[in-house]
Amino acid sequence: MTVQVGVIGTGMIGQEHIRRLTDTVAGARVSTVSDVDTERAKEVASGVDARAVDTGQEVIDDPAVDAVLVTSWGPTHAEYVLAAIEAGKYVFCEKPLATTAEDCRRIVDAEMARGRRLVQVGFMRRYDPGYRAMKDAIDSGSIGAALLMHCAHRNATVPETYHSEMATHDTAIHEIDTVRWLLNEEIRSAQVLKPRTTSLRFEHLQDPQILLFETAGGVRVDVEVFVNCQYGYDIRCETVGERGTLTLPDPHQVVLRSDSQVRTHVHQHWKTRFAEAFDVEFQEWVGSVLDDEIAGPSSWDGYAAAVTADATVQALHSGRVVDVPLPERPAFYA
At 33-48, the pLDDT tens digits run 999 999 999 999 999 9
Query: Is 303 in contact with 108 (CB distance < 8 Å)?
Result: yes
Query: Can you give the pLDDT at residue 250?
Result: 86
Query: Is 255 in contact with 265 (CB distance < 8 Å)?
Result: no
Q: What is the mean pLDDT of the chain?
A: 97
Query: Can you give the pLDDT at residue 251?
Result: 85
Query: Can you give the pLDDT at residue 180?
Result: 98
Please state whether beta strands 119-121 and 90-93 pair in parallel, antiparallel, or not at all (unpaired). parallel
271-293 exposure pattern, b = at least 16 Cβ within 10 A, e = fewer: eebbbbbbbbbbbbbbbbbeeee
Query: Can you give the pLDDT at residue 138?
Result: 98
* Domain limits, the chain: 3-124+276-303, 126-269
- For the segment(s) 126-269, the CATH number from 1.10.287.130, 3.30.360.10, 1.10.10.10, 1.10.8.100 is 3.30.360.10
Query: Can you give the pLDDT at residue 239?
Result: 98
Rounded to 5 degrees, what angle do the CA atoms 279, 224, 237 make? 50
Query: Is 108 in contact with 70 (CB distance < 8 Å)?
Result: no
- According to the 3-state scheme, what is the secondary structure of 244-261? CEEECCCCCCCCEEECCE
The CA distance from 160 to 311, in Å, is 24
Distances in Å between the alpha carbon of 113 and those of 81, 107, 330? Answer: 14, 10, 12
Q: Name the stretches of the chain with pLDDT < 70.
A: none
68 bridge partner residues: 6, 91
pTM of the prediction? 0.95
Query: Can you give the pLDDT at residue 252?
Result: 79
In CATH, the number for domain 3-124+276-303 is 3.40.50.720
Query: Is 150 in contact with 210 (CB distance < 8 Å)?
Result: no
At 64-89, the pLDDT tens digits run 999 999 999 999 999 999 999 999 99
